[in-house]
Amino acid sequence: MRVEKKWFIEGRAQRVIEALRNNGFDAIYLQTKEEAFDKIMNLIPKGSLVGIGGSVTIREIGLVDALVKRGNKLAEDWLKKYSMEEKLSIRRQQLTADVFLTSSNAVTEDGELINIDGLGNRVGAMIFGPKKVIVVAGINKIVKDSYEGIERIRNIAAPMNVKRLGGKTPCLLTGNCDLDECEPPNRNCHIITIIEKRPMKTDMTIVLVGEELGF
């Protein structure tokens, strides 16, 4: 990486970390996903139940396989095919897990977490329930403010997630969000959350990584 690019990334990331801390979050910046992997594994107690939200970022870092190998019990529904009833049961377990591990669709420069969900289990577990929440995000998730965050999710993250899930929405065809044409049952974006400050009774750590991760 060029010196100038590294300087820009780290400067912006550190400003976001400071803003997150001012909003009550425990926030850490790490340059690489390998450093993030080591830090996050140390934050998760051996033998704990770990809920894992729908997150490409978490899987790109390699945390799921490592936690399985270490012997942690996981509440996650990507490792094998489940019925919808089984998936809902697993997602309810995530709400009371010892640790909930996920990403954020966007992180603003003023230290807010912006997310859009379909079912709501991921954002629900981020806000209240698990004993500890760890949110991991690459630098590609940084946005100026909540407006830019929602635009990023609708026009960048959502189309790729719809493609991953095999959905049928206007954004899959055009790459752009069309709210007038996107309706249930095909619509994936149902719930928008903006976490402005750390939820009062939630132990939450934000790990910002100096690489592009996830969608």
Q: Which structural domain, as residue segments, surrounds residue 204?
A: 3-209
**Any domain includes 122:** yes
**Any domain includes 214:** no
Whole-number pLDDT of residue 1 = 78
Nearest to 111 by CA among 76, 135, 83, 86: 135
Which domain CATH number covers 60? 3.40.50.10420
Max CA separation in the chain (angstroms): 51
**Which string of b and e fits 20-58 if b means at least 16 CB within 10 Å?**
beebebebbbbbebebbbebbbeebeeeebbbbbbbbbb
**Any domain includes 188:** yes
pLDDT per residue as tens digits for the range 7-42: 999 999 999 999 999 999 999 999 999 999 999 999
Map tokens 């954002």 to a residue. 123
**Any domain includes 215:** no
**Which string of b and e fits 179-205 if b means at least 16 CB within 10 Å?**
eeebeeeebbbeebbebeebeeebebb
Token pair for residue 52?
A: 């894992």
**Any domain includes 148:** yes
**Any domain includes 189:** yes
The SS3 of residue 27 is strand
Residue 156 reports pLDDT greater than 80: yes
As for how many domains the chain has, the answer is 1
Q: Could you tell me which residue, 182 or 198, shows the higher pLDDT? A: 198
Question: In the chain, pLDDT over 70 holds for what percent of residues?
Answer: 100
Token pair for residue 171?
A: 């954004």
The SS3 of residue 70 is helix
Residue 170 reports pLDDT greater than 90: no
Residue 186 reports pLDDT greater than 90: no
Q: Which amino acid is at 200?
A: M
- pLDDT band for 201, please (50, 70, 90 cuts): very high
Residue 5 CB partners (closer than 8 Å, separation 6+):
none
Whole-number pLDDT of residue 79 = 77
- CB–CB of 67/78 below 8 Å? no
**Any domain includes 169:** yes
Whole-number pLDDT of residue 27 = 98
**Any domain includes 97:** yes
